[in-house]
Structure 1
Amino acid sequence: MRFHTRKWVKPEDLNPNGTLFGGRLLQWVDEEAALYAIVQLENKKVVTKYISDINFSEASHQGDIVEIGIDVVKFGRSSLVLRCEVRNMMTRKTILTIENVTMVNLGDDGKPAPHGKTEKEYVRNRLAKDA
């Protein structure tokens, strides 16, 4: 799994217990999954369709730096299924795992549309093809 984004836990991210608010963390995960899907599917019109069980396994506190990791589980006809792990960058302890985040590729009409992708691609490889 590749960890793409780091977030610094600030006071405004905390719940009344003084730990990272789960809703804030899920916001970060959803945004990261969308960005990952947009790059993979080469389409800005991507939406979150489904998020499976969310397993919070460790708390995060103010000042922690968390990393969000995303990996492809499978490519569907119009969807992309991702797995997510969030961990504390310094301790490497897992904070959260989500086994299935399903993102859907949309056409200009706002409806699911085939994306034609079958495997993970890296932008650097696309650029090499175009050169």
Structure 2
Amino acid sequence: MRFHTRKWVKPEDLNANHSLFGGRLLAWIDEEAALYSIVQLENTRVVTKHMSEINFISSAKQGDIIEIGIEVVKFGSSSLTLRCEVRNMMTRETIITIDSITMVNLDKEGKPLPHGKTEVEYVRNRIKTAED
């Protein structure tokens, strides 16, 4: 799993227990899943269809730096299914796992659009060089 994004837990991210508010963390995960899918599917029209059970394992406190990891589980015809793990960057302790996040590729009318992708592509492999 690749950990692409880091977030610093600040006072405005806390709940009444002075730990990271779960809703804030889920918003960060949803945004990361969308950005990852947009890059993979090469389409800015991508939406979240489904998240499986969310497993909160530990908490984060103010000042912690967390990492959000995303990996592809499978490619559907118009969807991309991801897995997510969030961990404390310093301790490597897992904070949350989500086994399945389904993102759907859409056309201009908001209807599912087949994307034709079957494997993870890295941006560096899409860039043409003078030798290509």
- TM > 0.5: yes
**Could you say which residue in structure 2 is the equivalent of 1:19?**
19
**Could you say which residue in structure 2 is the equivalent of 1:5?**
5
Shift of 1:129: 6.7
**Counterparts of 2:115 and 2:82, CA distance in 1:** 15
Shift of 1:108: 1.1
Structure 1 spans left out of the alignment, 5+ residues? none
Give the letter aligned to residue 73 of structure 2: V
The structure-2 alpha-carbon separation of the partners of 1:53 and 1:93, relative to structure 1 and needing over 3 Å to count, comes to same
**Could you say which residue in structure 2 is the equivalent of 1:59?**
59
**Could you say which residue in structure 2 is the equivalent of 1:89?**
89
**Could you say which residue in structure 2 is the equivalent of 1:106?**
106
**Could you say which residue in structure 2 is the equivalent of 1:119?**
119
Give the letter aligned to residue 85 of structure 1: E
**Counterparts of 1:111 and 1:63, CA distance in 2:** 42
**Counterparts of 1:39 and 1:85, CA distance in 2:** 19
Structure 2 spans left out of the alignment, 5+ residues? none
**Could you say which residue in structure 2 is the equivalent of 1:43?**
43
**Counterparts of 2:42 and 2:84, CA distance in 1:** 20
Give the letter aligned to residue 17 of structure 1: N
1:27-62 per-residue CA deviation (whole Å, 9 max, x = no partner) reads 000000000000000000000000000000001000
Cα RMSD for the two superposed structures: 1.1
Give the letter aligned to residue 116 of structure 2: G
**Counterparts of 1:129 and 1:117, CA distance in 2:** 22
Shift of 1:128: 4.0
**Counterparts of 1:128 and 1:91, CA distance in 2:** 39
**Counterparts of 2:12 and 2:108, CA distance in 1:** 37
SS at structure 1 position matched to 2:35? helix
**TM-score normalised by the chain length of structure 1:** 0.98
**TM-score normalised by the chain length of structure 2:** 0.97
Give the letter aligned to residue 33 of structure 1: A
**Could you say which residue in structure 1 is the equivalent of 2:34?**
34
Matched residue count: 131
Runs of 4+ in structure 1 over 6 Å off: none
Q: Percent identity?
A: 73
